[in-house]
Structures are given as C-alpha cells and as structure tokens.
Amino acid sequence: MDTLHPTIWRTCRVLSNENRLKLLWQLFHLGKASVSELGNLVGLSEPVASSYLRALNARGLITPERQRVFVYYRPESNPEVAHSERMLSAMKACWEARVSFSSVAYQMTAFTHSRRIDIARALSRGSLEELQLSAKTSISPQALYRHIEKLVNRGFVGKTGSLIQLLEPDAALSRELLEMVLD
C-alpha cells in the first residue's frame, strides 16, 4: 500500500466542496455506509460519490472496507497522514455543532493554495509591510494582494495600511486550521 502524504492545502481544497462535506457528515451520522447509500442520501450519482469518497480517503479522513463487490466507508483517520486525525476531529466538531456546509467550505478556502500557507507562516513571526512580505514569500505584489484579500475576508489576516498581521480567528475551526497550517 502506498503511503499517503497529502499537503494541508490539498486537504483544504477537498474539504472546501460542500458535497464532499455532506458525504463526510453522513458518515459521522451513520458510522459506516456504502458508496451507493451515501450517493443516494446526498443526491449524487454513484460514480461522483465514489470519486469524492476516494478524495476524502486520499487525505486520510475516511477508511474504506471492501465486502465482496461493495465498498463501505467509515470516518476514521489514517495514522500515516500527519494532520488527518486533527482535521477529522475538527470536522466532527463542526458536524456536532451543526456548522453549515457553506461556512465550513468557506473557511477551508482560506488555505486551498500553498502561497496562502506561506503567507501565514511568514506572518507567524510578526507583522510585515506588504513589500517585506512579498520579498519574504517570493510572491509578486499583484498575486500577494489577491491572496491577502482572501485571508482578510476569512478572518485570518488583518491589514492596516500596508502593514499585514496574522489574527487569532474567532471560530474554533479556523483556530484549529491555522494551528495545522503553522505546524
């Protein structure tokens, strides 16, 4: 079996899709379910549901179990994936708190690009001027502006004039996500 090494930004990209979140929420609710059962519950064709479940599995968030011709999944992290247990726990906390799919997906989009992770890590050492941050991350000022705006809109970064700083997010999911990004 191949060892999985997904990046945090790719995991965030998978979890920024509401239909994938709906599948995961159903697994939290049911404990274990087949691809066809999950597809029916969420309103997805079996091939699409299967594809989405494979993406969640590749990020170490669910575990497949083959029983003859059927594949069943359960919400269980893969211990070989560094952040999977923390991410699955954060997702389960959102499910238990009934956080909306759109809210979870929106927060996840903060870190669906590796450059935004680079920005957060650079700012974790202290506030920086835009040009300093651009030089430190090797991101052009134009691209930096787009990435900063996304982080500002999601409450991870604050901007005063040209000074940019990392913020302590309000939401529990956002705090946990930021900790994982900074690890």
Mean pLDDT of 119-137: 96
- Can you give the pLDDT at residue 2? 45
> How deeply is 73 buried, as exposed, middle or buried, from its count of CB atoms within 10 A (0-12, 13-18, 19+)?
buried
Mean of pLDDT over the chain: 94
Instruction: With beta carbons less than 8 A apart as the criterion, state whether 136 and 122 touch.
Output: yes
Listed in sequence order, the residues at least 6 apart from 118 whose beta carbon sits closer than 8 Å to its beta carbon are: 137, 139
**pTM for the predicted model, two decimal places:** 0.90
Mean pLDDT of 114-129: 96
Q: What is the DSSP letter of 138?
A: T
Mean pLDDT of 139-143: 96
DSSP 32-75: SEEHHHHHHHHT--HHHHHHHHHHHHHTTS-EEEEETTEEEEE-
Domains of the chain: 8-104 (1.10.10.10), 113-182 (1.10.10.10)
101 pLDDT band, cuts 50/70/90, is: very high
Q: Say yes or no to pLDDT of 44 above 90.
A: yes
CB count within 10 Å of CB 162 equals 11
- Can you give the pLDDT at residue 5? 61
CA distance 33 to 17: 20
